[in-house]
Amino acid sequence: MSAITCKPEFFAAGQKQLWHSEEPAIWAPVGGNHIEDPARSVMKTLWDQPRWLEAFHLYDERGSELFEQICELPEYYLTRTENSILERDAEKIIAAAPVECIVELGAGFSKKTVHLLTAQTLQRSRTIFAPIDVSISGLQASRDAVAREFPAVEFHGLHSRYETGFGSIDRALPTLFVFLGSTIGNFNPPAFVHFFSELADAMGPNDFLLLGADRVKDVNTLEPAYADAKGLTAEFILNVFLNINRLTGSNFDASKMRYHSWFNPEWSQIEMYAVANAAQEIHFPSYGSAFHWHKNERILVEISRKFDPLRLQEQFRYFGLHSVGHFTDAKEWFSLLLFKKSI
């Protein structure tokens, strides 16, 4: 497959050679080091007490498909609420953020970003769209949709963890970083500080961040969003162990576990667990390691923290980002916060 010509101003100086064309308009790091050695990543958290996993392991091809289906569920209000805000306010957001490049972190299939791209192409003479995601299927779908609907948009998909992919983009390019879906809620407090400190440090004086954040609300609304009647969320969470088995050669038996979630009011977060129905001896042959997973012992697979938007705005000032816009829905269930790098 022929290499894709990339305009030199997209990649920062000295960065382009670190990426190769994986397929048309999609780039991956040379050496495939966009994802940490999976066995090492899994083992460093499963040996903790209590045991937990990093959420990016959820998004293999099947996991990405399941999550897209979850986003359409009636219980899962987050996607349709955020989408309604974007549909209504995208033109205001783009007017407040005069940029040439839109970088979507953890893009998935980029369905909601269409509203921003529509506004951007109407208001600006140039648009670059650079989604970053570990899911190649999501990037492919996004690339093909952009080619159909926005033929003038320059597309550069980065097949990478979003925590590291943004560092290669030319900072002379005025950029709107987009972080939707309340993915911010998947960070525990130390990871939250680490990630946004790095992102803010990488941002230039003409850059903006659009952040989607789910707000604290009644538990009777929150909990069903993560325990749907169809059982898709349970399948999504337990699928992570099938993915880990493929990546590491481990022997998790998903038929001997169940899904459990609840809202932890102390930490304002939904917690999603896999619980062992029977004891399992889990082996990682490539590392010669094993651990005993006791009956009824839980593994924390994912969290989804809920936020007060005013407190978030205060916190982001410590990262050197000041608020220039706040957009919400009629019920005030969800917030889109627009930040600019402080000079």
* Interval 297-308: pLDDT, tens: 999 999 999 999
- Whose tokens are 């045991």? That residue is 51
326: Cβ–Cβ under 8 A, 6 or more apart, which residues? 309, 313, 335, 336, 337, 338
Domain 16-30+76-217+308-341 belongs in CATH node 3.50.50.60: no
| Nearest C-alpha neighbor of 169 from the set 209, 194, 132, 205 | 132
pLDDT score of 32: 63
pLDDT score of 135: 82
Name residue 289's beta-bridge partners. 284
The helix (run of H) or strand (run of E) holding residue 221 is helix 219-222
The helix (run of H) or strand (run of E) holding residue 119 is helix 114-123
133: three-class secondary structure by DSSP: strand
C-alpha to C-alpha distance for 321 and 198, rounded to whole angstroms: 12
* Interval 212-244: pLDDT, tens: 999 999 999 999 999 999 999 999 999 999 999
pLDDT score of 2: 35
pLDDT score of 1: 34
Q: What does pTM read for this prediction?
A: 0.91
pLDDT score of 36: 60
pLDDT score of 186: 95
Exposure string over 97-112, b if 16+ CB within 10 A, otherwise e? bebbbbbbbbbbbbbb
For the chain, the structural domain boundaries read 16-30+76-217+308-341, 38-69+224-305
Residue ranges in the chain whose pLDDT is less than 70: 1-9, 32-36
- Helix orientation angle between 61-70 and 232-248, rounded to the nearest 10 degrees: 170
